[in-house]
Amino acid sequence: MKNRQLLPMVSVCIPTYNGAAYLDDAFRSVENQTYKNLEVIISDDGSTDDTLNQCRAFKERVDFPVTILNHIPCGIAENWNHCMRHVSGTYIKFLFQDDILKPDCITTMVQIMEAHPQLGLVCCKRDLIYKDFNRFVDGFVKNFTDLQVNLHVPHDQISILSGRTILKLPSFKNKPINIIGEPVAVLFKQNSIDTIGFFNNNMFQLVDYEYWLRFFKCYSIGFIPQSLVQFRLHETQASFMNKQQELNDHDIYYRLLYNSYFWYLHPNFKWLLLKRYHPLVRFMIHIKSFFRI
């Protein structure tokens, strides 16, 4: 490992809210990183449990900068953005309060980013960890274990794909639609914020993937075939709570593709979106159906 000062700084963003149950595991995984030029930005969304005490204890025991911010609750995405507004690193690495980074996670991701300047972000596989096997976990394991299953990328080497090539793939509309993964599985350039902006506060379940979509227009994407993180499934995490509350972003997602990405997509996907949203096409389909009666 090079001297810390010779390495680009990585800002580890940890948004928190009542995360005391698993937070110390997340902190320990940061401490165990083989990559040493780190800063940690914690943005707390008004926790009422032991979260802030754990954050302070973490700050006291490590030898890298830790910033603890208080944030007025106004949505998941805005807490993520609050972290990002305070970073000073070359790269941003998210870690959620219930997830874990494997020791070589940041080292591996930074090495790939440094070797391929055209990349806007890299993503890796992740291990799913869970205590109880229930209906939610069963569905998640079946449908979202391999997010790149439709990309057909090699399983033994780094794959680099142009974001616009990804948008054009016939399989782009197939599930799982989030082919990048949760933020814990991603590292991206801090200066991309100037081009990409911040997370969309109007999104819920797809807040991360809507953000990755913006990278597709401007950058290439690196896919790492091995698992470098652990993503925890449990009934108090945001994705499960959103599912229970039926906060469904899919119509917002398709409208977004229609309005902002239409010309980048495969013809089959364009036709699907036209049938769904274009007034004239919808009218023609209605007329055709009427004369079939």
**24: Cβ–Cβ under 8 A, 6 or more apart, which residues?**
54, 58
Q: Residue 203 phi/psi, 5° resolution?
A: -100, 155
Assess contact for 121 and 215: CB atoms under 8 A: yes
Which stretches of the chain score pLDDT less than 70?
1-5, 235-248, 286, 288-293
Give the pLDDT score at 10.
98
Token reading at 28? 């320990």
CA–CA gap between residue 31 and residue 80 (Å, rounded)? 21
Measured CA angle at 263 (ends 259, 268), to 5 deg: 100
Task: Provide the angle, in degrees to the nearest 10, between the axes of the packed helices 51-61 and 23-31.
Answer: 20
Candidates 71, 72, 22; CA nearest to 42 is 71
For the chain, domains (ranges, CATH) are 4-248 (3.90.550.10)
Express each pLDDT in 57-108 by its tens digit.
999 999 999 999 988 888 899 999 999 999 999 999 999 999 999 999 999 9
Give the pLDDT score at 88.
97
CA–CA gap between residue 181 and residue 105 (Å, rounded)? 15
Please list, residue by residue across 222-235, b when 16 or more beta carbons sit within 10 angstroms of its beta carbon and e when fewer do. bbbeeebbbbbbbe
Give the pLDDT score at 58.
98
Give the pLDDT score at 4.
58
Give the pLDDT score at 291.
63
CA–CA gap between residue 38 and residue 7 (Å, rounded)? 9
AA letter at 179: I
CA–CA gap between residue 125 and residue 29 (Å, rounded)? 17
Give the pLDDT score at 241.
44
Give the pLDDT score at 253.
86
Give the pLDDT score at 142.
86
